Structure 1
Amino acid sequence: MLNKNEAIYIEELKKLIEKIEYGSITITIHNNEITQIDATEKKRFDKPKNNN
């Protein structure tokens, strides 16, 4: 059974995973506890083709 904090962490991670198309999620742990969750989203743009 998950404690209250663990349930919050899992819910937050699920939201981030569903939102990010390209990127990364970093979990920071201190003294066996999650202290921070960082999400970095990347935007990709196709290079325009040169039609000359």
Structure 2
Amino acid sequence: MVTTEAVRAVTAARNTLKTKLEQNSLRNKHFSKKISIELEESPIYCFQ
């Protein structure tokens, strides 16, 4: 069972990373986009 707190923590971490990726230079744009897509597609794992 995935707790609400765990989901919130993962979502917050993803949003923070996404914001940092969006602030990257144009030189890193393609790489950042690739990471963002992988983050969106990755499932949330929670071990209890």
| TM-score normalised by length of structure 2 | 0.47
Of structures 1 and 2, the one scoring higher in RCO (CA 8 A, sep 6+) is 2
Flag the structure with larger Rg.
1
TM-score by length of 1: 0.44
